[in-house]
Amino acid sequence: MSNKICRAAGVGFAFAAAILILAAGTAFAAYPEKAIRLVVPFAPGGGTDAAARIVGDAMTGLLGQQIVVENKPGAAGNIALDTVAKAAPDGYTLLLGFGSSLTVNPSLYKVMPADVQKDLAPISTLSTSEYMLVVNPSLKVKTVAELVAKAKAEPGKLNYASGGKGTPLHLGAEMLKKRAGIDMVHIAYRGGGPASKSVMANETQVLFASFPSSLPKVKAGTLTALASTGPKRSRSLPDLPTMEEAGYPGFIVTSWTSILAPAGTPKPVIDKLHAAIEKALAMESVRTKIEAVGQSVAGSTPEGLATLIKEDIARWRKVVQDAGIKPE
């Protein structure tokens, strides 16, 4: 009797296990079966949010499930990082990773909510964007060399603006100070908009500014552009030299956007998402929209993104330490 029960139980168990395995198999095959959350580390508006919505929109069409953009701003992106790193690794919660949030924050904060390299599974980069070095026109400098000469003639007199501590705008200027051996005073503003206004009003004189916000001002002559910070000249200002051409090899300040999942997300899910992102980035409509918000489309393999994160963390750590910025 008990034997029968045992056997029945055994068969039942095997059966249940078989169903579970089958179900699990089909679960991944059928992924995605419901809407996917894409957590953006900033408030709506701005380039990163735009990239998320543009690519998310295209992926919705490709995957047949809604990609829902969820803005979780705060702590320079650490709150969004925390949310995704602790989410179930099932492919239904993804992080829109912004370059400097992921790679500068580890040097800027004593306590990080998660280990960017261990707790996240990279999927792909989406886009890159560069910055430009702009000055107030009344400074009457046209090249980086002239700016450096001016700063050396009057040490500590020039002010440079930034959108806050640890932003690429701040670190770019600190890199310039270090590389050129000049002294400029840091004036922090609440974001890139007020920083750019301060240069236009000559309250500050120097700024590493984002392309989309400064391009119209450079064209209108209210700001003078000295150099761009990408590895190549910018398509929108082909006459503007890069920082490397201006005599600072390796002076590259770019930011990128990417999509990452919580560590432990199954490989088939990662592959499926990567394929969808690759297809989305190849779409003409996605490319034009990304370019319209001042970025360039740039995909990668999951391994490529992992390497990028590793290298950038090391690179920014050095800049932060050189600038003497204390972690908070």
Partner 1 sequence: MAFFDNLALGFGVALTASHLLYCLLGVTLGSFIGVLPGLGPLVTISMLLPITFNLEPTSALIMLAGIYYGASYGGSTTAILVNLPGESSSVVTCLDGHAMAKQGRAGPALAIAALSSFFAGTVATALIALFAPPLAGWALSFGSPEYFSLMLVGLLTAAALAHGSMLKSMAMVVLGLVLGTIGTDVNSGLYRLTFGVPELSDGLSFVVIAMGMFGIAEIVANLEQGTAREVFTGKVRNLMPSRRDIADSWRAVLRGTGIGSFLGILPGAGTTISSFLAYAMEKRFARDPSRFGTGAIEGVAAPEAANNAAAQTAFIPTLTLGIPGSGTMALVLGALTIYGIDPGPRVMTSHPDLFWGLVVSMWIGNLMLVILNLPLIGIWVRMLRVPYRLLYPSIVVLCCVGVYTLAFSYLDVVFMAVSGVAGYVLVKLECEPAPLLLGFVLGPMMEENLRRSMVLSRGDPSIFVTQPISLGLLVFAAILLALLVVPAIRDKRAAAVSEGEH
Give Cα separations from 40 to 2, 45, 56, 202 (angstroms). 58, 11, 11, 34
Beta bridge partners of 69: 38
Asked if 198 is part of the footprint of partner 1 (rule: CB under 8 A), the reply reads yes
What DSSP element (H or E) covers 60?
helix 47-63
Only one of the segments 15-23, 133-141, 192-200, 271-279 lies at the binding site for partner 1 (rule: CB under 8 A); that segment is 192-200
Site string (224-263) toward partner 1, x via CB under 8 A? ----------------------------------------
Find the binder of partner 1 among 193, 231, 249, 264 (CB under 8 A): 193
What DSSP element (H or E) covers 298?
none
* Least distance between partner 1 and beta carbon 190 (Å): 5
What tokens appear for 44 in the block? 């709506």
Nearer to partner 1 among residue 70 and residue 146 (C-beta):
70
What tokens appear for 123 in the block? 């999927």
Give the separation between CA 173 and CA 187, rounded to whole angstroms.
11
Asked if 213 is part of the footprint of partner 1 (rule: CB under 8 A), the reply reads yes
Beta bridge partners of 296: 128
* Least distance between partner 1 and beta carbon 73 (Å): 6
Find the binder of partner 1 among 20, 43, 88, 275 (CB under 8 A): 43
Count of residues of this chain found to bind partner 1 when the rule CB under 8 A is applied: 53
* Least distance between partner 1 and beta carbon 271 (Å): 27
Nearer to partner 1 among residue 234 and residue 300 (C-beta):
234
Find the binder of partner 1 among 38, 133, 173, 215 (CB under 8 A): 215
User: Considering only residues 102-131, where is the footprint of partner 1 by CB under 8 A?
Assistant: 113
Asked if 137 is part of the footprint of partner 1 (rule: CB under 8 A), the reply reads no
Per DSSP, which regions of the chain are E strands? 36-40, 67-71, 93-98, 120-135, 159-162, 185-188, 206-210, 224-228, 254-262, 296-297
Q: In this structure, what are the phi and psi dihedrals at residue 168, rounded to the nearest 5 degrees?
A: -55, -30
DSSP string, 237-275: -TTSPBTTTTT-TT---EEEEEEEEETT--HHHHHHHHH
Chain residues in the site for partner 1 (CB under 8 A): 43-47, 49-50, 53-54, 57, 70-76, 78-79, 82, 113, 159, 164-166, 185, 187-190, 193-194, 196-198, 200-201, 203-204, 212-213, 215-217, 219-220, 222, 289, 292-294, 325, 328
